[in-house]
Amino acid sequence: MAKRTIIDPITRIEGHLRIEVEVNGGKVTEALSSGTLFRGFEIIVKNRDPRDAGLFTQRICGVCTHVHYDASIRAVENAVKVLPPRNARLVRNLIKGAQYIQDHIIHFYILHGLDWVDVTKVLQADPGKTHDLAMAVGSTYNAGKARFSAVKQRVENLVKSGQLGPFANGYWGHPEYKVPPEAVLLIVSHYLDALEVQRLGGQIMAILGGKEPHTQGLVVGGVTCVRDILDPKRLGEVIFRFKKLKEFVETAYIPDLLLAGKVYRDYGLKNIGAGHKNYLSYGDFPLSDDFDRKNMFFPAGVILNGNLSKVIPFDPDKISEHVKHSWYKYPDENKGLHPKDGITEPNYTGLNPDGTCKEKEKYSWVKAPRYDDKPMEVGPLARVLVAYASGNKEIQELVNGALKAVDLPPSALFSTLGRTAARGLETLYIANNVEKWFGELITNLKNNDETFTPYDLPKEAYGYGLIEAPRGALGHWVSIKNHKIEHYQCIVPSTWNFSPKDAKEQRGACEQALIGSPCHSSEKPLEVLRTVHSFDPCLACAIHVARR
């Protein structure tokens, strides 16, 4: 007999999300994703100076602040037809690279790790055997029997105190937790390390971007930091932090990821959490001064139906947003609108009296973006698959090496496990390259300290900024009239991933990924949370004044 289960709110995310699933025979047969907070940033920036838009829109989120700043700046640059100089391009790549590494470390350990690891098993672990395991798998960061004994004692003290803090209210003891005690102790020790290490990424962003969160070092036409970058002390502070981040990624994150991957191989073999297998990447981290989308560190492209033999060129004109099941008004709710023509007019009709979603009506503040009328998944898995299928040798080596280590075929990437793995692999990909970008910046600064390109603000203009945020494809669209913002729209990664159904009743990426997922207990839907968290939801970004 089918049973409805509502998880509201979803915790360990940014923003307000509820997931409603129908479970029948131990599997999810229906899934509805509902964003539950409206914010209206597109309305807030209207009639303001377009050069100030980035400072407002980065307040959309308290986590991925810089990327909204970047996308907004790029949208206005596209409108006024200006390109920042090389130094500015490199500084922007470094700031965003630091955010990626920081963000992904936080996600794996702090937000997602407890879906895979039963922290209470630490109490059963042998610190000596944990040390042996760490040496065997290369997970050597801050490893030592004394360290593992101290972590075990720390967890025991929490349990005895009855104040479990972040470990409270978990589904501890759930039969779908498979990681053995010694591996749990190893990963939990790195959970604690990650709380400290992730700060290094924020510090790099503050050094290069003026402050963090909400960096202030970008302007239309370039960046504001010049002479401070040339200071030897500043240079040392940045490079030291990048090296420490890379060390953690190489000796904790990746080994722990592979260790967990071996335990949960079935997720890959059975393609649990695969979804539509449609993937979209805008491409980002420009490698040339003309910002050519064909020359990006992460290439642009589209993959349909999991076909890795063909990467379809990305066309921004094929993006549209639908609102048939979203709490907004459109002239014709059976047709989508391109974001340059998008409308943000709230139309809240509520849920059913029993609190369930009106699945045949409106049930979310999130709109439903589509590419060429197809639902798309965006994020690390999309970026890695597009790069892999495009022939990126470095990505191919990382992916093939990881698949070999856990004895899985490439098709296993179409899964919740693959989504989680891709996030870690792209973290290593970035960590392997940021020092090279930094060296390029230093070399160029010795001959040219230009960080800004002058421009004139036109009376009327239209532009868009399409970038890749840690969580996926992010777009800002701006129309300027009488030197002010006349129209503004954002489509963020979680709008793509957590959209409701569209006018054709096609589910959003997460909704579809949940269909067929096992669910051992409707009262403890751990497996549902695994797949939801694998997308790293950011609903603060996706929904943009609460009303009750």
Tokens, residue 315:
């066309």
Please compute the mean of the pLDDT values over residues 207-211 and round it to a whole number.
90
Convert the pLDDT of each residue in 364-403 to its tens digit.
999 999 999 999 999 999 999 999 999 999 999 999 999 9
Please compute the mean of the pLDDT values over residues 507-536 and round it to a whole number.
97
Residue with tokens 């495009």: 390
Rounded CA separation 443/236 (Å): 15
Instruction: Indicate the domain borders of the chain.
Output: 3-543
Convert the pLDDT of each residue in 122-133 to its tens digit.
999 999 999 999
> Any idea what DSSP says for residue 182?
H
Convert the pLDDT of each residue in 226-285 to its tens digit.
766 667 788 889 999 999 999 999 999 999 999 999 999 999 999 999 999 999 999 999
Which among 494, 499, 517, 534 is annotated as catalytic? 494
Question: Quick check: 62 pLDDT over 80?
Answer: no
Rounded CA separation 515/114 (Å): 22
68 belongs to the catalytic site: yes
Question: Quick check: 24 pLDDT over 50?
Answer: yes
414, 44 Cβ separation under 8 angstroms: no
* Matching CATH number, 3-543, of 1.10.645.10, 3.40.50.1820, 2.60.40.420, 3.50.50.60: 1.10.645.10
Residue with tokens 């532009």: 463
Question: Quick check: 547 pLDDT over 80?
Answer: no
Q: Report pLDDT for 230.
A: 63
Q: Report pLDDT for 229.
A: 66
Please compute the mean of the pLDDT values over residues 328-336 and round it to a whole number.
94
490 belongs to the catalytic site: no
Which among 18, 22, 42, 61 is annotated as catalytic? 61
521 belongs to the catalytic site: no
357 belongs to the catalytic site: no
Name the 3-class secondary structure at 459. coil
Which among 18, 20, 33, 64 is annotated as catalytic? 64
Q: Report pLDDT for 261.
A: 97
Which among 490, 510, 519, 538 is annotated as catalytic? 538
Q: Report pLDDT for 355.
A: 87
Q: Report pLDDT for 227.
A: 67
Which among 419, 476, 541, 544 is annotated as catalytic? 541
85, 225 Cβ separation under 8 angstroms: no
487 belongs to the catalytic site: no
185, 152 Cβ separation under 8 angstroms: yes
Q: Report pLDDT for 159.
A: 84
Q: Report pLDDT for 548.
A: 35
61 belongs to the catalytic site: yes
Please compute the mean of the pLDDT values over residues 112-137 and round it to a whole number.
97
Please compute the mean of the pLDDT values over residues 28-37 and round it to a whole number.
93
530 belongs to the catalytic site: no
Q: Report pLDDT for 228.
A: 67
Backbone angles phi, psi at 485, to 5 degrees: -75, 115
Helices 416-431 & 86-105 angle (0-180, nearest 10): 140
Mean pLDDT computed over every residue of the chain = 94
Which among 68, 74, 383, 423 is annotated as catalytic? 68
Question: Quick check: 536 pLDDT over 70?
Answer: yes
Question: Quick check: 543 pLDDT over 90?
Answer: no
538 belongs to the catalytic site: yes
The percentage of the chain sitting over the pLDDT mark of 90, rounded to a whole number, equals 84
Q: Report pLDDT for 447.
A: 86
Structure confidence at residue 545 as a pLDDT band (50, 70, 90): very low
Which among 131, 423, 471, 533 is annotated as catalytic? 471
